[in-house]
């Protein structure tokens, strides 16, 4: 089975605006770049993933993606996220993808084992596997086999909406809650939670 990962990425200069109360513009650009690098490095360590496709309107993002052997698609200025993901999924399907894994680039605790477990849970010919955020509100990772089995509805309450669409389609639905897939960094509360977990890991390491 050919699996493609699709990673939508905002412009580095416009990313993480909700962290403005706690981070400067330069700091937000730096963590956005670091998070994307981490995501691409993790995806490259998962042998089940044949290809990674990064979609963005920022040339700097696309250059960084290509340095990590990712395919790239340039997003239009006027295209919203779900339409951009649909376009990227069409590209992956046309190039032979049997399944796609959509995930953001801002999960600093992401681990290759998390992705392998999520893929292993998706063993039916028609299945949708969802990793929600730690609030059970948004969708942090969405695996679809085959591609385009349901439409994308990323946005408010997307976790419940993706579940409902998959069940309406009659696909098997799996929910994966792993620490590395649960924490994306959007707001200061997420960043505080991440830093707390880093300190706990450092104490355990001695």
Tell me the DSSP string of the chain.
--EEEEEE---GGGTTGGGTTTS-HHHHHHHHHHHHHHHHHHHHT-TTEEEEEEEES-HHHHHHHHHTT-EEEEPPTT--HHHHHHHHHHHHHHTT-SEEEE--S--TT--HHHHHHHHHT--SSSEEEEEE-TTSSSEEEEEEESTTSS----STTHHHHHHHHHHHHT-EEEE---HHHH----SHHHHHHHHHHHHHHHHHH-
Q: What is the pLDDT of residue 15?
A: 86
Q: What is the pLDDT of residue 205?
A: 76
Q: What is the pLDDT of residue 192?
A: 93
pTM here is: 0.93
Q: What is the pLDDT of residue 63?
A: 97
pLDDT, block means (10 residues), the chain with 206 residues: 95 91 94 96 97 96 97 85 94 95 94 95 93 94 96 95 96 93 92 90 79
Q: What is the pLDDT of residue 1?
A: 84
């Amino acid at each position: 089975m050919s699996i493609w990962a699709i990673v939508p990425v905002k412009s580095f200069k416009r990313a993480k605006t909700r962290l403005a109360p706690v981070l400067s513009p330069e700091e937000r650009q730096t963590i956005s770049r670091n998070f994307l690098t981490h995501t691409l490095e993790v995806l490259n360590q998962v042998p089940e993933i044949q290809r990674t496709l990064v979609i963005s309107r920022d040339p700097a993002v696309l250059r960084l993606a290509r340095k990590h052997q990712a395919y790239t698609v340039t997003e239009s200025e006027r295209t919203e996220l779900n339409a951009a993901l649909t376009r990227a999924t069409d590209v992956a399907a046309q190039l032979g993808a049997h399944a796609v894994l959509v995930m953001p680039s801002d999960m600093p605790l992401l681990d290759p084992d998390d992705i392998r477990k999520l893929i292993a849970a998706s063993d039916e010919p028609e299945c949708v596997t969802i990793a929600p955020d730690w609030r059970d509100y948004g969708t942090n990772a969405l695996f679809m086999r085959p591609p385009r089995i349901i439409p994308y509805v990323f946005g408010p309450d997307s976790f419940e909406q993706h579940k409902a669409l998959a069940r309406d389609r009659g696909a098997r639905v799996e929910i994966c809650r792993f620490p590395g897939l649960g924490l994306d960094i959007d707001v200061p509360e997420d960043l505080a939670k991440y830093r707390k977990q880093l300190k706990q890991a450092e104490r355990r390491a001695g």
